[in-house]
């Protein structure tokens, strides 16, 4: 009914002042009270611009020409302005650092309550309640920069939850969360929506993870236009996702490889509701048996060895406890585990940003403790999780060229190397743009390009594909594979279980500062004990194998990944 419509785009378009072409074209979209809508699409398709129009950042912070009409709560969005829209639409940004206001986590969650002059005792109770819901009660008195990326995301969610808004808008809410916490976040968003009756709009690349809980509609955007809006079961029955460069759920891909035709009556949008006949299950089993066994890993010599690494931060947080690990020359390896497990701390020690209180690190037989950060950087490249912490130049080309210039490389050599790195990372058309004009995901690609251009012996990347669409994800990972094929060791700190399965045959699993597993990716994700302890998530292939009566889900996963790689090549 019309009175239930909270947001209405009517022939809406937007053209940034600084760009030659419009970003949004003829958007027609209604969002109703109590509805949960997922918006997906490749990077640059206009998703974030649409979000900025909703929360008032356009035109308040990003000037441009608006055509058509946008109404929120029946009122023109331009008349409501930034403040008026903020009272109706609560936003959790992809870049959590850009959202913090308070000096502590508690202050940040309380910010909206303070603006509303809520009495102190009531404010304390509400902050504690929300902090418990989003699992940050243990860090309430920490400064925002002291907590992990996933914790920052939960704090941002908490800050929105204390407000009495009609619409909750989440821009890439899973980008920095470990798999288990991401699943909890989706469940929490679902619970909030059910309890409050708010409309929920989720903008996210990780389609399968969002579909852990049902959504009312999926909106697919491509090149600034809406190309689909409707039922998620029907969407997964169409070739639209592949055409738009969006990754479909793993289990759907497996069913297609087995020769099944996906139809809405199979309820493919939710694995828990997936309806397969006995004949269809037998077809999956037959396909699995016909696949060759996955090849064994080749033997490799050690490159980096950690022995008894122990580290405690100032303040007493014991981040690493006696880590013994080996990274082998020329391999591609994942480091996984829950937020705060010690993954990033371990990488900082490898790069020399922190010094362990005990233990030893050797690289190609050389003691790393004798090398400075600069000397280590010549051999070990590090791409940080937050791109804003790495970027120091105004122009994109200059940022990528910075490391080469600092090393005295001749300008005639710099240009082709920088341009090649920009092409690989999908940034060549923007080479002369200012960094400030880029989205968060595009900034991420700039930082990856700035390290790739240096051609180090080993490259260590913290969440390299967070916030990337399938095309850019594939381009980045394929390039990393090319580097790896040339003998460069690639280590990925990641929450993306598909990335771990698809690209890294071996993984190290951290939990509470300890290394609890060193095994193949398939073995780890098919071990309920490791998955539960480390806050990972079983791959949907595991559940599909069990549903189809396959007694070896680990081998099913291995064979699927090997087959998928061959198909994509």
Give pLDDT, residue 235: 96
Token output for 550: 């396959």
Residues 6+ apart with CB under 8 A from 28: 9, 10, 11, 12, 226
Residues 6+ apart with CB under 8 A from 458: 303, 304, 327, 363, 379, 380, 381, 488, 489, 490, 491
Q: Please report the beta strands in 329-401, taking only residues with DSSP state E, as ranges in sequence order.
A: 332-337, 358-363, 366-367, 380-383
Percent of the chain with pLDDT over 70: 98
Distance separating alpha carbons of residues 54 and 457, to the nearest angstrom: 45
Asked if 309 and 467 touch (Cβ cutoff 8 Å), the reply is: no
* Plot region of 44 (φ>0 → left; ψ -120 to 50 → alpha; else → beta): left
What are the contacts of 93-97 at 24+ separation with CB within 8 A? Answer: 93/156, 93/171, 94/48, 94/171, 94/172, 94/173, 94/175, 94/440, 94/441, 94/467, 95/386, 95/388, 95/440, 96/149, 96/152, 96/153, 96/155, 96/156, 96/176, 97/144, 97/145, 97/152, 97/386, 97/388
Give pLDDT, residue 273: 92
pLDDT (average), residues 499-505: 90
DSSP 95: S
Give pLDDT, residue 512: 93
Distance separating alpha carbons of residues 21 and 472, to the nearest angstrom: 22
> In this model, does residue 134 exceed pLDDT 80?
no
pLDDT (average), residues 405-428: 92
Mean pLDDT of all residues belonging to the chain: 89
Q: How confident is the model at residue 473 (pLDDT cuts 50, 70, 90)?
A: confident
> In this model, does residue 97 exceed pLDDT 80?
no
Place of tokens 């407000």: 163
Give pLDDT, residue 395: 95
Highest mean pLDDT among 120-129, 276-285, 377-386, 461-470: 276-285
Residues 6+ apart with CB under 8 A from 553: 526, 541, 542, 545, 546
> In this model, does residue 89 exceed pLDDT 80?
yes
Radius of gyration of the chain (CA): 24
Asked if 349 and 320 touch (Cβ cutoff 8 Å), the reply is: yes
DSSP 381: E
Q: How confident is the model at residue 334 (pLDDT cuts 50, 70, 90)?
A: very high
Distance separating alpha carbons of residues 248 and 241, to the nearest angstrom: 7
Distance separating alpha carbons of residues 558 and 476, to the nearest angstrom: 22
Highest mean pLDDT among 123-127, 433-437, 514-518, 533-537: 514-518
Q: How confident is the model at residue 201 (pLDDT cuts 50, 70, 90)?
A: very high
Which three-class secondary structure state does DSSP give residue 104? Answer: coil
Give pLDDT, residue 218: 96
CA 510 from centre of chain: 19
- Alpha helices in 211-331, H assignment, sequence order: 232-235, 240-244, 250-257, 278-290
Host H or E run for residue 229: strand 225-230
pLDDT tens track for 357-373: 999 999 999 999 989 99
Distance separating alpha carbons of residues 173 and 349, to the nearest angstrom: 29
Instruction: Centre a 10 Å sphere on the Cβ of residue 551 and count the other Cβ atoms it contains.
Output: 9
Count helices and strands in the chain by DSSP H and E runs: 23, 20
> In this model, does residue 287 exceed pLDDT 90?
yes
Residue 205 or 521, more confident: 521
Give pLDDT, residue 541: 93
State whether the Cα torsion 502-441-7-222 is positive or negative.
negative
> In this model, does residue 379 exceed pLDDT 60?
yes
Distance separating alpha carbons of residues 310 and 361, to the nearest angstrom: 11
Q: How confident is the model at residue 145 (pLDDT cuts 50, 70, 90)?
A: confident
Give pLDDT, residue 176: 67
Distance separating alpha carbons of residues 130 and 160, to the nearest angstrom: 10
Asked if 522 and 554 touch (Cβ cutoff 8 Å), the reply is: yes
Which three-class secondary structure state does DSSP give residue 230? Answer: strand
For 208, counting Cβ atoms within 10 Å of its Cβ (0-12 exposed, 13-18 middle, 19+ buried), the class is middle
Residue 36 or 147, more confident: 36
Question: Is the preceding omega at residue 59 within 30 degrees of 0, hence cis?
Answer: yes
Distance separating alpha carbons of residues 261 and 259, to the nearest angstrom: 7
pLDDT (average), residues 75-94: 87
pLDDT (average), residues 51-61: 91
Interhelix angle 470-485/440-452, rounded to 10 degrees, is: 10
pLDDT (average), residues 385-405: 92
Give pLDDT, residue 487: 85
Give pLDDT, residue 150: 66
Instruction: Centre a 10 Å sphere on the Cβ of residue 147 and count the other Cβ atoms it contains.
Output: 20
Give pLDDT, residue 111: 87
Distance separating alpha carbons of residues 484 and 428, to the nearest angstrom: 22
pLDDT tens track for 314-331: 888 899 999 999 999 999
Distance separating alpha carbons of residues 505 and 484, to the nearest angstrom: 13
- Alpha helices in 217-277, H assignment, sequence order: 232-235, 240-244, 250-257
* Plot region of 305 (φ>0 → left; ψ -120 to 50 → alpha; else → beta): beta
User: Rounded to the nearest 5°, which phi and psi values hold at 11?
Assistant: 45, 45
Asked if 230 and 217 touch (Cβ cutoff 8 Å), the reply is: yes
């Amino acid at each position: 009914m019309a009175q239930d419509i909270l947001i209405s785009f009517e022939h809406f378009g937007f053209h940034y002042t600084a760009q030659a072409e419009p970003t949004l074209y003829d958007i027609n979209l209604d969002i109703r009270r109590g509805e949960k809508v997922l918006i997906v699409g490749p990077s640059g398709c206009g998703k974030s611009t649409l979000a900025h129009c909703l929360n008032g950042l356009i035109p308040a912070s990003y000037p441009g020409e608006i055509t058509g009409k946008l109404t929120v709560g029946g009122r023109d969005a331009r008349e409501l302005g930034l403040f008026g829209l903020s009272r109706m639409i609560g936003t959790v940004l992809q870049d959590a650092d850009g959202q913090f206001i308070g000096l502590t986590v508690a202050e940040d969650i309380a910010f909206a309550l303070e603006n509303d002059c809520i009495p102190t005792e009531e404010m304390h109770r509400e902050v504690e309640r929300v902090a418990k819901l989003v699992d940050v009660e243990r860090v309430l008195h920490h400064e925002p920069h002291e907590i992990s990326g996933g914790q920052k995301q939960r704090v941002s969610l908490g800050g929105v939850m204390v407000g009495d808004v009609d619409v909750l808008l989440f821009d890439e809410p899973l980008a920095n969360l470990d798999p288990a916490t991401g699943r909890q976040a989706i469940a929490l968003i679902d619970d909030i929506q059910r309890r409050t009756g708010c409309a929920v709009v989720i903008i996210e690349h990780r389609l399968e993870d969002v579909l852990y809980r049902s959504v009312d509609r999926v909106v697919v955007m491509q090149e600034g236009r809406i190309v689909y809006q409707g039922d998620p079961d029907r969407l997964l029955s169409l070739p639209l996702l592949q055409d738009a460069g969006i990754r479909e759920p793993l289990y759907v891909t497996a069913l297609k490889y087995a020769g099944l035709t996906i139809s809405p009556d199979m309820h493919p949008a939710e694995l828990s509701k997936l309806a397969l006949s006995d004949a269809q299950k037998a077809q999956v089993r037959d396909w699995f048996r016909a696949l060759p066994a996955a090849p064994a890993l080749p033997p490799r010599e050690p490159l980096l060895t950690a022995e008894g690494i122990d580290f405690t931060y100032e303040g007493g947080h014991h981040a690493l406890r006696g880590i013994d690990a080996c990274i082998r020359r020329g391999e591609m390896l994942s480091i996984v585990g829950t937020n705060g497990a010690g993954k990033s701390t371990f990488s900082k020690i490898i790069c020399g940003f922190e010094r362990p209180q005990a233990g030893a690190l050797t690289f190609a037989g050389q003691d790393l403790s004798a090398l400075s950060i600069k000397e280590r950087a010549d051999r070990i490249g590090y791409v940080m999780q937050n791109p804003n912490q790495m970027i120091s130049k105004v122009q994109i080309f200059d940022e990528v060229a910075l490391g080469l210039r600092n090393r005295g490389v001749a300008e005639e050599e710099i240009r082709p190397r920088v341009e090649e790195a920009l092409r690989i990372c999908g940034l060549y058309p923007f080479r002369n743009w200012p960094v400030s004009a880029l989205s968060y995901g595009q900034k991420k690609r700039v930082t990856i390009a700035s390290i790739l251009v240096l051609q180090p012996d080993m490259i260590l990347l913290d969440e390299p594909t967070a916030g990337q669409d399938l095309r850019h994800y594939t381009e980045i990972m394929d390039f990393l594979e090319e580097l790896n094929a040339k003998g460069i060791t690639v280590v990925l700190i990641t929450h993306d279980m598909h990335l771990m399965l698809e690209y890294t045959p071996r993984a190290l699993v951290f939990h509470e500062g300890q290394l609890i597993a060193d095994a193949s990716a398939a073995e780890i994700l098919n071990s309920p004990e490791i998955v539960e302890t480390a806050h990972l998530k079983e791959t949907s292939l595991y559940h599909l194998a069990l549903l189809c009566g396959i007694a070896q889900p680990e081998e099913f996963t291995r064979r699927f990944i090997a087959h998928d790689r061959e198909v994509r090549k």
